[in-house]
Amino acid sequence: MARFSRIKACQVMTETGMVPVFYHSDLETSKQVLKACYEGGVRVFEFTNRGDFAHEIFGELNKWAAKECPEMILGIGSVVDAGTASLFLQLGANFVVGPLLNPDIFKACNRRQVAYIPGCGSVSEVGYAQELGAEVVKIFPAGDVGGPSFVKNLKAPMPWSNIMVTGGVEPTEENLTKWFKAGVTCVGMGSNLFPKEIIAAKDWGRITQMCKMALEIIAKAKTI
C-alpha cells in the first residue's frame, strides 16, 4: 500500500516544484541516486518502468526508501495500462505517471486513492483527465507540444489546472524560470538531471548539488 495519500503527494509536488525521473537496472545505483536526490532536498521521485524486471527493482527500492529516505514520496512512471499500474500499486507506489491518458488506470488508482498523473498533449486531453479526477496533469513531451507558451495559453481559460511538464526541461535558471513564469505546478527532469557520465562515475555528490541548485532556482522562479 502507498505510504502517502494522493493529496499529500500532489501537495509536495506543488511545494517543491520538481520531480526527478530516473531508471536504472541496477538496484544499488538506483539507491544511491535516490539518496543523493533526497540529500539535495527532493521529496518526490519518479522511478520509471522502462526495463525488464523494473517492478522488482522498484519493490526493493521502495522498501529501502521507507527506511533510508522516510520522507521521500516514491512513485512509478511510464505506465500505459491498468494491469501494470495495479502491479506497482501492490508494490507501494505512491503515485502513477504515464506518457498517455488511459481511463482504465484512473479506475485502478482511484480505488486505492493513489494519484494518477496522465500524459496529455492537448487542451482537450487535459480537460478529459480533469473530468476523470486528475489532480495534476502531465504535459508530454512538453518541449515539443508547445513549450511554456502552451502552458500559459492553457491556463488562461483553465486557471485551476495543475500542470507538470516533462521533456524539454533543464536544470538551468533560464529554462526553469520560463516554465514557472508560464504557470507550471512542477517539472519532471530526467537525463538533464542525471547525465550518463555522472552516473558512470558514481559522482553522487554532484547529483545532490544539482538537485539543490535546481530547487533553489525553482523557489526563486515561483516568486517572480
pLDDT tens digits, 34-46: 999 999 999 999 9
Give the number of domains in the chain. 1
Which CATH number is 198's domain given?
A: 3.20.20.70
Task: Write the pLDDT tens digit of every residue in 191-211.
Answer: 999 999 999 999 999 999 999
Which run of H or of E encompasses 214? Answer: helix 204-221
Residues in Cβ contact with 194 at an 8 Å cutoff, skipping those fewer than 6 apart? 20, 22, 33, 207
Residue 90 located in a structural domain: yes
Sequence letter at residue 220: K
Task: Write the pLDDT tens digit of every residue in 85-116.
Answer: 999 999 999 999 999 999 999 999 999 999 99
How far apart CA 148 and CA 143 sit, in angstroms, is 8
**124 exposure class (CB count in 10 Å sphere: 0-12, 13-18, 19+):** exposed
Mean pLDDT of 3-30: 98
* pLDDT score of 34: 98
Residue 21 located in a structural domain: yes
Residue 179 located in a structural domain: yes
* pLDDT score of 224: 79
DSSP-derived 3-state class of residue 18: strand
Domain containing residue 41: 6-221
Q: Are 137 and 10 in contact, with CB atoms under 8 Å apart?
A: no
Calculate helix-pair angle for 54-68, 82-90, nearest 10 degrees.
40
Average pLDDT, the chain: 97
Residue 1 located in a structural domain: no
